[in-house]
Amino acid sequence: MSTSSATQGGFYSRIGIQGVTLVLFAGSIASYFLFPEHLALLTQLFVLMVFALSYDLLQGHGGIVSLGHAAFFGLGAYAAAILARTGYNDPLLGLVFAAIVSALVALVLTPIIVRGNDFTRLLVTLGVASLVYEAANRMRWLTGGADGLPDFEIAPLLGLYRFDFEGRTAFIYSFAVFALTYMFLWRVVTSPFGLALRGIRENARRMPAIGSPVRRHLAVAYTLSGGVAGIAGAVLAQTSRFASLDMLGFDRSAEIMMVATLGGSGHMVGVSVGAAAFGWLKDVLSTVSPKYWQLGLGIVLMLSVFVARGGIGSLLDRLRFRRSA
């Protein structure tokens, strides 16, 4: 696992900028020049990557399986949209607000998440996400219900760069959010706290024996993960100037679980690449034929349990291993 190599080395490797990650970042920047026609799609890919990284912190590192992570994504999206509608439409302010709202909700929910086994966790997360969805659906005066929340303006980024029609600012904004999130989460997972999280994933029963406060660690991970998911949602709402119920839905929760696993649980480069690949494939194929996309996705998911476990991340590791050997 590439995370282990980060403990030594200079500044850049301490924030995760090395090897394959460098290629990932360079590729992200290059995509701006390679696909200037598709900046809107690329922005969405960055959003998906941030969301996938937030889920990976929870499931890939902490071992908490969740079927309702879209709740935090959607909360962030609505928080940013609602704040912008009240007139406070600075994008960074919206980002911070969305992160705080999502993280707070996650924090409130932690007592019921950290207890119980995998099955009850799946249900609690699914139940809570359904509750949030229903609440958003019912509170039309706040969320617009099934029509979503359109028509809000976002102020120029840093007061300087207007969100233009071609999506250049949106691209740079979402890439910056992705890069900063990536470096932040890299620091988190390579810290002693991250190591403790992986210990909990491997064996939650033995961790208390070495004095590790399992529940507190999981609570911190859940809150962080919720906050980052909120950031992803906020970026999507701000750059698309729209917040809607499907941002909260079960489909999105199931999707992010697949994306993170197909990318390679606990492998941040793999998850990022996986998210980008998934988002791009989905955009290409689901416009051609949504039903065959769904069929193909189902088959890939079933196969992924038996072959290519470890996802794209382990493929990348194998490539690198072959080259250096």
Partner 1 sequence: MSNLITVTVDGIAYGMLLFLFAVGLSVTLGLMRFINLAHGAFAMGGAYLAVVLVNSGGLPFLLALPLVFIATGAVGAVMERSVIRHLYDRGALQQVLFSIGLAFALSAIATIVFGPQQQGVQIPSWLLGRISIFGLQISGYRVFLVVSGAVTAAALAYLFDYTLFGARIRAAVDNRVAAEGIGIKVDRLFVTTFAIGSALAGVGGALSIEMLGLDPTFAFKYLTMLLMIVAIGGAGSIEGSLLAALFLGVVDALFKYFLPEAGSFVIFGVLVAVLVVRPNGLRGRTA
Rounded Cα distance, 265 and 302, in Å: 16
Rounded Cα distance, 201 and 82, in Å: 37
Ordered DSSP codes for 259-279: HHHHH-TT-HHHHHHHHHHHH
Q: Which region among 14-22, 192-200, 215-223, 304-312 touches partner 1 (by CB under 8 A)?
A: 304-312
Which helix (H) or strand (E) segment holds residue 20: the answer is helix 19-34
From residue 134 to residue 163, what is the string marking binding to partner 1 with x (rule CB under 8 A)?
xx-xx-------------------------
Least distance to partner 1 from the beta carbon of 95, Å? 29
Burial status of residue 172 (CB atoms within 10 A of its CB: 0-12, 13-18, 19 or more): middle
Rounded Cα distance, 60 and 223, in Å: 15
Using CB under 8 A, pick the residue from 7, 120, 191, 203 that binds partner 1: 120
Q: Which two tokens stand for residue 80?
A: 């940013």
Least distance to partner 1 from the beta carbon of 91, Å? 32
From residue 182 to residue 221, what is the string marking binding to partner 1 with x (rule CB under 8 A)?
----------------------------------------
Least distance to partner 1 from the beta carbon of 2, Å? 21
The yes or no reply on residue 257 touching partner 1 (CB under 8 A) is: yes
The yes or no reply on residue 112 touching partner 1 (CB under 8 A) is: yes
Backbone phi, psi, residue 191, to 5°: -80, 170
The yes or no reply on residue 286 touching partner 1 (CB under 8 A) is: no
Using CB under 8 A, pick the residue from 100, 107, 195, 300 that binds partner 1: 300
The yes or no reply on residue 124 touching partner 1 (CB under 8 A) is: yes
The yes or no reply on residue 239 touching partner 1 (CB under 8 A) is: no
Rounded Cα distance, 254 and 250, in Å: 6
257 phi-psi bin (left φ>0, alpha ψ -120 to 50, beta other): alpha
Other CB atoms within 10 Å distance of the CB of residue 30? 10
- How many residues bind to partner 1 according to rule CB under 8 A? 41
Q: Which is nearer to partner 1, 134 or 147 (CB)?
A: 134
Residue 209, helix vs strand vs coil: helix
Q: Which region among 39-47, 86-94, 251-259, 268-276 touches partner 1 (by CB under 8 A)?
A: 251-259
The yes or no reply on residue 287 touching partner 1 (CB under 8 A) is: no
Using CB under 8 A, pick the residue from 261, 264, 279, 312 that binds partner 1: 261
Residue with tokens 């793999």: 270
The yes or no reply on residue 179 touching partner 1 (CB under 8 A) is: no
Using CB under 8 A, pick the residue from 89, 286, 304, 314 that binds partner 1: 304
Report CA Rg, the chain. 19
Chain Cα centroid distance, residue 231 = 9
Residue 71, helix vs strand vs coil: helix
Q: Which is nearer to partner 1, 31 or 66 (CB)?
A: 66
From residue 68 to residue 107, what is the string marking binding to partner 1 with x (rule CB under 8 A)?
----------------------------------------
Contacts of 290 (CB under 8 A, 6+ apart): none
Using CB under 8 A, pick the residue from 298, 318, 319, 320 that binds partner 1: 298
Closest CA to 106 of 141, 155, 54, 171: 54
Catalog residues that contact partner 1 under the rule CB under 8 A: 59, 65, 67, 112, 115-120, 122-124, 126-128, 130-131, 134-135, 137-138, 250, 254, 257-258, 261, 265, 291-292, 294-295, 297-302, 304-306
